[in-house]
Structure 1
Amino acid sequence: MLTKRELLRTAAMTTITLAATRTVPAFAQASTDRPGFLKAKDVAEAGFIYGLPIVMNYAVMYEYAVDRNSGQFKAPFNQIKNEPNVFTYKDTAIVTPNSDTPYSFVWMDLRAEPIILSVPAVDPKRYYSVMLCDGNTYNYGYIGNRATGSEAGDYMVAGPDWKGVTPPGIKKVFRSSTQFSVAGYRTQLFNADDLDNVKKVQDGYKVQTLSAFLKQPVTTAAAAVDFPKIDKELVKTNFFEFLDFALQFAPVQENEKEMRAKLATIGVGPGKTFNFRDLPLEQKLEIGLGMKEGERKIDEAVASVGKDVNGWRVSSLPGDSAHYNGDWLKRAVAAKAGIYGNDAVEAVYPLTRTDSDGQTLDGSKHTYTLTFAPGQQPPVNAFWSITMYDGKTQLLIENPINRYLINSPMLSGMKTSTDGSLTFYIQNKSPGADKEANWLPAPDGPIYLVMRLYWPKTESPSILPAGEGTWQPPGIKRVS
């Protein structure tokens, strides 16, 4: 089964043995207008950085909305799938998944007509949000407590080419930059006994085509698409073929023209001419070396993203097209650190792989503590959490108490010190019955921790601007 972490780890490992043993047809020899070896390698490197979020998004879409046998399939296009439970270690399609809020998903095919998303009235005390993210991984709009309020409403999502009249009653129109897009719903779960209440909210989420909303007959239909199968093995060599495929549904934006023109020089672009397996050995090496170097640069940037605050990296990575403004490395880092992350105004994600001394977190070697001083818990309008991931895969880990995170709604069941401080025990084995209430189980190996501040406060103390705010996350202390 494909995980996005496996996709990332294998995407650049083009095998020279495969390339050397493949028979190359005469028509695939380098053309006179193809750039030289080093320049082509540079194009592949830049193209990998530019294209990684797009290919990652396509892989998730394929598993969630296309391949019914993927093991991760949710629902066909334009149909909502409500997840009545939070994510666990069994959910592997998305790296660094949120386990705070039961998700709902709808993958939208916007080619023929817009989609209407209707939400019910939601108790203002219950955080919820609907994040709209397109095939470029741009967060182009929000519905929810922070963005639109807690009242019921109908919202329209239109594709890049739609030209029509907005019907009465629509509160807002959102415009996707690509013809396929996803709406990711997050509905707060207070505790295990609250699940039925979450399901009632989810039952109020409605998805309709514009024609169905208007109770009119469908006048146009989108053509069938032959979506290419994607998995970790195919991505090793077919990365640019998947990018090539996805770009046909993403009309070029002004700040992409230069990159698209570069990609065209190695056969990626309109006409879908790129076929790795039919390239001469030299061109296979160009592509493979470029991808590997691109991945190295992304990994380095992920490790140093944002500002180091007590060992946590604090940044405001995700956003819309204007937020990235053609900074493809920034967009790739946002996807690799955790694809489908929120804008900073919706949530901030301090993340760490190190303790307060800068040493790598490793549950097989050490135990750790994290302490919030009295009155120093994360300042939010909604809630906060700290989630544990396997440091190698960035996936949730199986553990004996089925606890993947600690969040603020859980605090009533935890122990505080006599001075009012709150200490969590981060370790692979139980810290003992007297401390287990505050235990965050860790993997037997590298640790990756992500703190989530949902709807962070803007007044002091605040984590905003991200990394520069007056509130700072405390460092993780190594105990043994």
Structure 2
Amino acid sequence: MSQRLISLTLAIGIGLTTAADAQTASPEDARAIAKDAYIYGFPMVESYKTLYSQAVDQGGPNFKAPFNSIGNTANVFTPKDTAIITPNSDTPYSFVWMDLRTEPIVLTLPEIEPERYYSVQLIDLFTQNFAYLGKRTTGSGGGNFLIAGPTWTGETPEGITKVVHCETEFAYALYRTQLFGPDDLDNVKRVQSGYQVRPLSAFLSQDAPSPAPSIDWPKPDLAAMTTTPALFRYMSFLLDFAPTDPSEVDTLARFAKIGVGAGLPFDESKLSPEMSKALQDGIADGQKEFADFKTAKIDTKQVHSNEFFGTRAFLKNNYLYRYAGAKLGIFGNSGEEAIYPAYFVDSTGAPLNAATNRYLLRFEKGQLPPANAFWSVTMYDGKTQLLVDNPLNRYLINSPMLASLKPDADGGLTLFIQNQSPGADKESNWLPAPAGPFYVVMRIYMPKPEVISGAWKEPPMTKAD
């Protein structure tokens, strides 16, 4: 029997028919529990927005492919792409949402030229990066990789290069294929055409197992689902497909005291006014904890983005870190794959705002980001967390563009970060910013040891004035 059926049976058996029935915590305790449940569940619910838009909402603008099928994008992200916040625009994406309930899925990768970076990031419903395929981990030679859900215990079939286990019943495979420049797009399409996705039965030319029960996917309420107690309804739904890890038994039991958990019929509309306020206050407490953490630790570079993404073992159930990753750039890579130095404030600690300031980002001679693959610097709107529309249609500056950039007289490199053009003689090095708040994310793919160790430091963002 699935975890969903077990949970529903238990809930019905003890008479739980509404969120209020499931709640045993006092409003005071509920507020503290809601704070922790919000931080725990936000990444799952934020991820669900992408799952729904890419794999469920077939008439929507961001739909990519049905479950267990691949959707390729033959271009890079632009401001018109809104499904993922803080998107990467220097590697065209491919997307697979995998339903692992009845059988594993086999991902086939082609052999590609060694100089081209490509990767398949495997992400569970908690937004943990449980494994990687591609240049860094499995090489450029391709292969057949079996992705198994939590209940699969079969032997490794013939022809399978590697078996990878996922702890949740749905998983996300996010492919990145390096684009060297606009004239390289056909080559990226060729690589993408070699990506194959098949259920194990199809890979083995066998009969498919009986299909899993159909799912009534709740439509995302974008106005409420991550900022109000509605979050707990989506979170409970997703936990139906995420068997409880032994390390989290007590955590999930605590969440159940406010009616949140697999099989629990959470309905925010049935909450008493007192409980509704307690849960909303708990969410506000969680948001404040993150805001304080960001100001004290992230903005001051005491904690870095590479600490927010990884396996469960790497994250050690640090739910605030997992929340930070989802809040600042969901589906970010683990540190071994890529590191993301981010700029939210200038060298004086003031928030970045191009309505009133112009900025410089200068790399000293020989101090460009050390990468075994490549690096990029990308601009984001501080309000929408999306790419910034601009007259150059330039959303980033990256290492493949170095030949077109103008070096400083001493061999260094200065980037001009501002809203208006710095002048024709400097426009090659201009990264356009919105006329308002913004932030910049540096991406270093396959970072060299000096990046991972912290020996190399990203330069500060300084005011041009």
With the length of structure 1 as denominator, give the TM-score of the two structures: 0.90
Query: Cα gap change, 1:306/1:479 in structure 2, threshold over 3 Å: closer, same or farther?
Result: closer
Equivalent residue letter for 1:186: R
Q: Which consecutive unaligned segments of at least 5 residues does structure 2 have?
A: 1-16
1:199-234, CA deviations, whole angstroms, 9 ceiling, x for partnerless residues?
000001000000000011112211110011112134
Take 2:347 and 2:229, find their aligned partners in 1: how far apart are those partners? 40
Equivalent runs, 1:230-245 vs 2, <5 Å: 230-235=220-225, 236-245=228-237
Equivalent runs, 1:275-424 vs 2, <5 Å = 275-305=267-297, 308-309=300-301, 315-424=306-415
Q: CA deviation at 1:59?
A: 1.5
Which consecutive unaligned segments of at least 5 residues does structure 1 have?
Answer: 1-26
Find the counterpart in structure 1 of residue 88 from structure 2: 98
Q: What residue is the counterpart of 2:138 in the other structure?
A: 148
Superposed counterparts of 1:140-219, under 5 Å: 140-219=130-209
Distance 1:218 1:312 in 2: 47
Among 102, 112, 133, the residue aligned to 2:123? 133
| Deviation of 1:308 (Å) | 3.5
Name the CA shift for 1:31/1:340 in 2 (closer, same or farther; >3 Å): closer
How big is the shift at 1:312? 9.8
In structure 2, which of residues 69, 76, 86 is the aligned counterpart of residue 86 of structure 1? 76
Alpha-carbon distance in 2 for matches of 1:113, 1:70: 28
Is the 1:255–1:325 Cα contact (8 Å) retained in structure 2? no
Alignment partner, residue 62 of structure 1: 52
Range that drifts further, 356-365 or 191-200 = 356-365
Correspondence 1:52 to 2:42: yes
- Could you say what the CA RMSD is over the residues aligned between the two structures, in angstroms? 1.7
> Which one of the candidate residues 244, 251, 254 is aligned to 2:243?
251
User: Percent identity at matched positions?
Assistant: 48
1:146 match: secondary structure? coil
Letter of the 2:195 counterpart = Y
How far does the alpha carbon of each residue in 1:156-188 deviate from its partner, in whole angstroms, 9 at most, with x for none? 000011121211121111111110110000000
Aligned equivalents of 2:324 and 2:266: distance in 1? 25
CA distance change for structure 1 residues 144 and 36 in 2, over 3 Å: closer, same or farther? same
Secondary structure of the corresponding residue to residue 88 of structure 2: coil
| Helix, strand or coil at the partner of 1:157 | strand
Instruction: Please state how far the C-alpha of 1:30 moved relative to its aligned partner.
Output: 5.6
On the 8 A contact 2:117/2:373 being kept in 1, the answer is: yes
Cα offset for 1:191? 0.4
Alpha-carbon distance, 1:444 to partner: 0.5
Q: 1:249/1:194 Cα in 2 relative to 1: closer, same or farther (>3 Å)?
A: same
Distance 1:367 1:398 in 2: 18
Aligned partner of 1:428 in structure 2 is 419
Distance 2:142 2:322 in 1: 33
What is the match of residue 15 of structure 1? none
Higher deviation after alignment, 400-409 or 319-328: 319-328
- Judged with a 3 Å threshold, the aligned counterparts in structure 2 of structure 1 residues 73 and 377 are, in CA distance, closer, same or farther, namely same
Q: Which residue identity lines up with residue 462 of structure 2 in the other structure?
A: K
Question: Larger deviation: 125-134 or 158-167?
Answer: 158-167
Give SS of 1:148's match. Answer: coil
CA gap 1:31/1:249 in 2 versus in 1, 3 angstroms:
closer
Amino acid corresponding to residue 51 of structure 2 in structure 1: M
What TM-score comes out, normalization by structure 2 length? 0.93
How far is 1:393 from its partner? 1.8
Q: How many residues align?
A: 447
Seen in structure 2, the aligned counterparts of structure 1 residues 48 and 281 have a Cα distance that, compared at 3 Å, is same
Superposed displacement of residue 189, structure 1: 0.3
